[in-house]
A and B are shown apart, each in its own frame.
Chain A
């Protein structure tokens, strides 16, 4: 009985990514293409899995607690800028650079959290302010020139499938460990289900919020590093030019939430990100115009939300039809 349930949960968890893969493979066949044509396709896929998984974790950690965060892209940009500049000046390799990016991003996240808990301004407003502040800091730090590491083959060479898998696996493992098997995670979940009661039982919501911001920042540090190592350059963005990054995380977050009914929620998010990575790969393989990409992504998000909001009614109707037969 338990085995059957486990198997059913596993199958339902893999339903969306497998369905996406099948549909896209069929479309590719129809176009006379192969979705995974060569090593570049695999690399793109695993890079997208890493980027989207980490960004979705970073977004959902705070959003689940009602803290909207527009500064994710700016944290990623500023931490990569600082790490890239220091890597160039100190002539260090990719691993120390990654460590610097994570440390800087965690500090930036902590600062963001600090401003929020000190000022008590609504998180959405604070995050807008911090996004502008961090964009300005990155611009000032490099004089607007950004970072160019195109000649640093050791850093560009970091962009391999193995490294992407390693980073994703470590991030998923650490996030599962932190949020599901530690006191911090237990407090986080208690605060999610009822902040007032949780605080009355002695949980420190400020410390937990600061921790969430720091973890969210650290994850964006990895995203910034992956992006810089991939292209070899970090360009500057001003006037909210960096906030687009967070929007890539909404659909995988909702998909992850649905998958999370059958498997660990963080693993569900990774599977949601995997589905999005497949779609990104298909966009690249089919040479889809960016306008079409935006429309498809928006449609998928809206359709999925419509399904989630009407799930009970849809399933009831489906069951009635089955019973009638």
Chain B
């Protein structure tokens, strides 16, 4: 019996030792990725770029969190990354960014914000933290501009009657509020003399009004009209009824959506003659919608747009974080690609969905994931995010 126990203990130790060997031999850098959205086409495209291209090209291992729903989930996921010996965390989740940065800093692992930015107050507090890499993504100004450009595109064509899908506006999703505010601002600016939205006639006042209301009111804006509005993601019969009513509103010419336009309105738009504009990603399903006239205008984050934040994170992990002349972390804006025709969309989609030659290839990123890169070079690189600029980078 005693011998049996000894043998069992010995076998157990042997198994443990053997289990440790691959872990010790595995020199891959591990990076944790926090996600609060695991199912949207945009989130899937980002994930595919990291796991199917970057991971292979750089020999790094990405460990993804579950689909997070709150700040407690973020904390627990970071704990898990720390236990798994991750050297950095790239965060797509924004329930409590300050807590994420604090937790990573305390654990001595790097933290980077992808496809988003910190608020000015948060940046001032965390910009000199040793383990805070920075943020690269559409700033709220860029979100605002995306909405503005979308509305302006149709107003400039002479359209006057619009519908709007506000997505996360009732839940106070900042980027959706800023996109919606951009659309309303374009209507106010191009709606003729005295045009205003509930008395607000400038961007700041419109943003404030939306935050105060938690929604958007319909009505005339000068000589333009916001004839219908639906917000939220209720996915119940009443909500689908509202969407259907919006498409059927008499005289409506275009529906501007802050996101997910094809997914929520595609079925109703078919054959209605109403133009649909949205913010989404360059997927084959969207391409099909554009080819068939269901989608008319799309502003999209390209999948490889998260390449630069990876390069910056890798630099930090390798001991050469990119900092400005005062030692502050990155805070860089990055905008959208806009497609208004099938041909343009196909061109973008081909580059964006490629896992062998994506927008930001290893060859491009290598120039910036290196110890020699300066802050200014990196800023210059990130600022060239338009399709044409990226194509020229490839040459």
Interface residues on B, range: 35 or more
> With A148-B263, A150-B289 in contact, is A48–B215 under 8 Å at CB?
no
The answer, yes or no, to whether A217 is at the interface (CB within 8 Å) is: no
> With A143-B44, A148-B285 in contact, is A289–B267 under 8 Å at CB?
no
Main secondary structure of the interface of A (DSSP, over half): helix
The answer, yes or no, to whether B270 is at the interface (CB within 8 Å) is: yes
> With A145-B285, A248-B236, A284-B242 in contact, is A150–B267 under 8 Å at CB?
yes
Give Cα distance in the complex from A229 to B270, angstroms.
12
The answer, yes or no, to whether B358 is at the interface (CB within 8 Å) is: no
The answer, yes or no, to whether A293 is at the interface (CB within 8 Å) is: yes
The 8 Å CB contact of A239, one of B67, B215, B248, B283, is: B67
Contact at B266–A150, with CB atoms within 8 Å?
Answer: yes
Give Cα distance in the complex from A118 to B141, angstroms.
58
Give Cα distance in the complex from A144 to B45, angstroms.
10
* Per-residue interface assignment for chain B, residues 34 to 74, with 1 indicating a CB less than 8 Å from any chain A CB and 0 otherwise: 00001101011000000000000000000000110100000
Q: Which residues of chain A are within 8 angstroms of B222 by Cβ–Cβ distance? A: none
The answer, yes or no, to whether A151 is at the interface (CB within 8 Å) is: yes
* Per-residue interface assignment for chain B, residues 267 to 303, with 1 indicating a CB less than 8 Å from any chain A CB and 0 otherwise: 1111100000000000101001101101000000000
> With A146-B39, A156-B267, A290-B232 in contact, is A151–B244 under 8 Å at CB?
no
> With A151-B288, A232-B267 in contact, is A51–B237 under 8 Å at CB?
yes
The 8 Å CB contact of B67, one of A43, A151, A238, A290, is: A238
Write the nearest CB–CB distance from B128 to chain A, whole angstroms.
37
The answer, yes or no, to whether A64 is at the interface (CB within 8 Å) is: no
The answer, yes or no, to whether A139 is at the interface (CB within 8 Å) is: yes
Q: Which residues of chain A are within 8 angstroms of B232 by Cβ–Cβ distance? A: 289-290
Contact at A145–B41, with CB atoms within 8 Å?
Answer: yes
Give Cα distance in the complex from A148 to B170, angstroms.
26
Q: Which residues of chain B are within 8 angstroms of A43 by Cβ–Cβ distance? A: 244
Give Cα distance in the complex from A287 to B43, angstroms.
31
Which single residue of chain A is at the shortest CB-CB distance from B232? A290
Which single residue of chain A is at the shortest CB-CB distance from B247? A40
The answer, yes or no, to whether B239 is at the interface (CB within 8 Å) is: yes
Write the nearest CB–CB distance from B129 to chain A, whole angstroms.
31
Interface pairs A-B: 9 shortest CB-CB: A284-B241, A150-B266, A232-B267, A283-B238, A44-B241, A48-B237, A148-B285, A280-B237, A236-B39
CB pairs A–B below 8 angstroms (8 shown): A146-B263, A148-B262, A153-B270, A231-B266, A231-B268, A248-B237, A289-B170, A289-B215
- Chain A interface (Cβ within 8 Å of chain B)? 38, 40-41, 43-44, 47-48, 51-52, 139, 143-146, 148, 150-151, 153, 156, 159, 229-233, 235-239, 244, 248, 277, 280-281, 283-285, 287-291, 293
